[in-house]
Amino acid sequence: KSSSGPVKLQINSELAVFFIEHHHLDTAQRILIDQRIPLEKSQQLSLKTFTQQKVAALYFSSMRSFYRARDALKTAQIKCYEDDIRADDRFLMERHITADIAYVGQSKDGLIGNQINNVNSHLRGNISDNKIAELDKTTQRYQLVTQAQCKRSKKQDDISLTMLSIDIECSIQGDLYSIGLYANNTNSSDMKENFQRVLMIGEPELNCEPYIQWQVDERQLLLQFIDEVNLFDADIFIGWNVIDFDFFLLQKRCDLYGIKFAIGRDGSNPYWRTNANNSDQHFIEIAGRVVLDGIDLLKTATYNFTSFSLDNVAHSLLGRGKKVVDVENRMQEIINNFNHNKSALATYNLEDCRLVWLIFEKTQLLAFAQLRSQLTGLAIDRVGGSVAAFTNLYLPKLHRSGYIAPNMGDCVSDLVSPGGYVMDSIPGLYNNVLVLDFKSLYPSIIGTFKIDPMGLIEGLTQVNVHKSVVENSADIEVEQQKRDIRDVVISGFDGAYFSRTKHFLPDIIQSLWSERDKAKEQKNAALSQAIKIIMNSFYGVLGSTGCRFFDPRLSGSITKRSHEILKKTSIWIEKLGHQVIYGDTDSIFVSIGADKTPLQASQLGIELQNFINDKWKLTLAQDFKISSQLDIEYETHFTKFLMPKIRGLNHIKDQKAIGTKKRYAGLSNGVIIFKGLETVRSDWTELSKDFQQELYRLVFHDEPIEAYIKKIVDELKQGTHDDKLIYQKKIRRKLSDYVSTPPHIKAALIANTKLEAQGLKQKYKHRSTIRYVITLDGVQPVEFSDSKLDYDFYVEKQLKPIADDILPFIGKDFESITGNQMGLF
């Protein structure tokens, strides 16, 4: 989109290319001739593979020829390189074009030049029809530019994108009732700034809201929706599960009525793809527009909620939820309102649209998506895409240094890279625990030790040359002139060596780090978060077999180095007289004794921070001749801290009791922070969470606990907390894929059977969340529960384990406190 509106660029004469090893060129050309596959040209290049083989490029003027040639050569056992890079992706990445592009080309008015902001795979590549669609007889939806020549734009104008929030309401069978549309775009035309509409099937009602437009039937509803969308002409559609539910159902209903779902800017239908690994997940491409799903984008931005339902996320972020009396049984209310109170349904429909809009605003999701696109070149609607982002950033630099990329699987070996280091903890209830945290540990290891795919190849080459000189030279003068190998390479793990000078990833990280510091100074939270996610993804990419640059020596040189760093740091701290009670990935927990005041604890934290950073600078300079980018920070002072024992080993007299990992709680600045405990787990009941929070508060503040425990057990058995005894768990596989039948799956199967018996659609499946209770008759789904709850079960499984984590450390015992209450009811 440019400052003057949407633009479609047509790029001519761009050739698709892949590479082969040069010694196969003559054979490859004969194969293509024999099979009559058109080859535009072939060319020997100065590039080479990671195994130092010279390469040739094969160019094709059509993708059909490209794919036929690739298949023919692979059948002949000729290895093709970079044959999975999409032509449009290569066009952009080789020109370092991410979200902004400058172009010149021909329009109907002659030579034209401009800049497009927020270019992406949909806004750039999916308009297949050259015909310009029109809003009416005179207004074009976009400008067509042919014979376009493109390059990266250095100028970044703030060109706003317009959004439109979409939500549909329908019956269980998928019959449409209404469609809501909402927008509140600033810096836009009056219509786009404050737009709200509900298209509703039914007869006009008196005194209804003016935003309701009545439609005679479902066919007219669909046609009106298409007209509204094209009239509004949004750049981006947003919604909640909007692709797999709303747009997918709209497409199916259009197909049913033989209606062209013409919502592309060129009047075209959407193009649909299905996830090869999950038939329930779909991808949509709309010419000149983009669809952003709120759930997917929140997950990409690393938000986490107990449930990603719109109602739950809205309550968490906005403090408000859906306009419905009973969220769990809203389907019946929707059906009832459609039949008897369409105005209420319209209010509900529009509020869902508005909630999605407000969530996008609150979390700056659009800004996050745009900035991520600018940094990586990924389309703004791309879900995940860490490997693709890395490829976009890395591949052009690799080519300019004389290499082509390896194929996926080229470097797979028996080597296994460990995960992050997690130390065995020392269980206990402590006073004064400091947490020291290495800031972005994995990226800083990459930067410090120059860990890089090409750097590994260059480093190994340099080491081999060095060894060859040593082995073949008897000349003492030459021996004296040889440089220390440490001046040439930096050693990694598993036989890895990295070039000190030939690498890209450390520089990419340093650039991103600087940009993140600027973003923090400017209080640009969206940019800071986007950069953080990209930086932290690099280790995962290098450790993924789905990445063409995967090599276990790369990922192993990161994680094994992190193990070494945490272990050495712990030794240094303990030599100072402090006790390290736990360590996890990039954090170290230090017990400094009960006699410290908060001020003394903070001063000691800063002293430890400075000592460790200085120690690493000196150590790395001496041992590796490198500058340390490691940066440990004093992060938290817990005045009270609990590290539980592993359950089953909770006897306080057991001196060999083992502490838990990734499960602890601490009191800092009057707030209790829970990690990995029941309070932050979605599969424990609300009562267990309330019980844990209050019990820990009492213990951490040295207050009596007996009366509280007895009170909760009493109230539970009297039925006071029945509404807090509901389990909630996500179904993570297809129901048919479960070999055993855990409680939540049993509840889902019961619910589906009862729904089907009522003539209703089964609603529990893969990715659904089931709510259930444990009764005297076993597990039952909440909506079909008709038995008395098994209170003894809840005491034993929901209260006792929580109490047993902490009570032994203060000399108390849950059963002793509640013994006379067991079995009373």
Taking only the tens place, the pLDDT of each residue in 290-338 is: 999 999 999 999 898 888 999 999 999 999 988 776 666 688 889 999 9
What phi and psi, each to the nearest 5 degrees, are found at residue 636? -145, 145
> Mapping DSSP to helix (H, G, I), strand (E, B) and coil, where does residue 1 land?
coil
Token pair of 486 as six digits: 């440490």
Domains along the chain? 1-157 (3.30.70.2250), 163-363 (3.30.420.10), 408-500+544-643 (3.90.1600.10), 706-821 (1.10.132.60)
Diameter over CA atoms, the chain: 103
| Global pTM value | 0.85
Give the closest residue to 392 by CA, choosing from 555, 549, 551: 549
Give the closest residue to 321 by CA, choosing from 332, 339, 335, 307: 307
CA distance 364 to 369: 9
For β-strands 41-48 and 727-730, DSSP reports them as: unpaired
CA distance 236 to 257: 26
Over 45-98, what HEC string results? EEEECCCCCEEEEEEECCHHHHHHHHHHHHHCCCCEECCCCCHHHHHHHCCCCC
Residue that the structure tokens 């130092």 belong to: 52
CA distance 245 to 280: 10
- E strand intervals along 277-427: 278-285, 290-293
Q: Which segments in the chain show pLDDT lower than 50?
A: 119-139, 476-478, 480-481, 650-654, 823-825
- pLDDT given at position 111: 60
Helix or strand (DSSP H, E) at 183: strand 176-183
Question: Percentage of residues in the chain with pLDDT exceeding 70?
Answer: 90
- pLDDT given at position 505: 96
Taking only the tens place, the pLDDT of each residue in 802-819 is: 999 999 999 999 999 997
What phi and psi, each to the nearest 5 degrees, are found at residue 206? -70, 145
- pLDDT given at position 16: 96
- pLDDT given at position 137: 32
Question: Percentage of residues in the chain with pLDDT exceeding 90?
Answer: 68
- pLDDT given at position 615: 98
Looking at the DSSP bridge assignments, the partners of residue 638 are 433
Q: What's the full length of the chain, in residues?
A: 825
- pLDDT given at position 507: 94
Residue 202 CB contacts under 8 Å (≥ 6 apart), including other chains = 214, 215, 338, 342
Taking only the tens place, the pLDDT of each residue in 495-513 is: 999 999 999 999 999 999 9
B/e letters for 110-147, b = 16+ CB within 10 Å, e = fewer, are: eebebbbbbbbbbbbbbbeeeebbeeeeeeebbbbbee
**Burial class of residue 295 (count of CB atoms within 10 Å of its CB; 0-12, 13-18, 19+):** buried
Looking at the DSSP bridge assignments, the partners of residue 180 are 167, 198
Amino acid at 674: F
